[in-house]
Structure 1
Amino acid sequence: MLACLALPSAAAQPRYETVAQFYRTCVDETSRKVNGRCEAYLSGAAETLSAFGNGGSEAGICGRGVRSGELSRIFLAWAVENRHAANLPRLAGVTMALRQRFPCRPTT
């Protein structure tokens, strides 16, 4: 009975969307001039990171609000400039892109 519950070790590997895969999604949506999964994901990530930043965490993002489509432009530009990050998880790349653009300054 226990033998059938055992999973091969390959199944334990996490599966996630990479920066490169998400980049392609965003490029496709931008070319079609639609706000879809790309902008929605980026908006959710930005809102979450803003909550951390507003709470005083340097791991969050700080600054002004954004206009429609701005988050995807920020991510797309960052991804092109950081091709070495192509195989990172999507969230890691999005976080780096947004923190680079909207850094929180430490308070003293």
Structure 2
Amino acid sequence: MTDDVIQLKGIIKRYGNSTAVDDVSFNVRQGEFVSLLGPSGCGKTTTLRMIAGFVDPTGGTITVHGRDVTHLPPEKRNMGFVFQNYALWPHMTVAENVAFGLKLRKKKSAVYW
């Protein structure tokens, strides 16, 4: 049994002839705090979006708790993602924006003010 919570093996992402992420591999173990650092355009956000399931990798594998999630949709990965720029729906109230994630998981929302 491994303590790896997240494991990336040879992750690649290409957009046409442009390579955004090239052969990235790393493990995140239980209790670790990990930061992805680098200049603008080096693939940090693309890598995180692949882990979250918002972008499909061109190659490689992503496992979470030993389960291959490489092509699993984001709503089935049981993880969250905090965007640099807020991803809010302007036509929804604050409560509706917060409850939206619960709706995707078919859970009842309860708001207490």
- TM-score, structure 1 as length reference: 0.24
- TM-score, structure 2 as length reference: 0.23
Relative contact order higher in (CA < 8 Å, ≥ 6 apart): 1
- More helix per residue: 1 or 2? 1
Between structure 1 and structure 2, the one with the greater Rg is 1
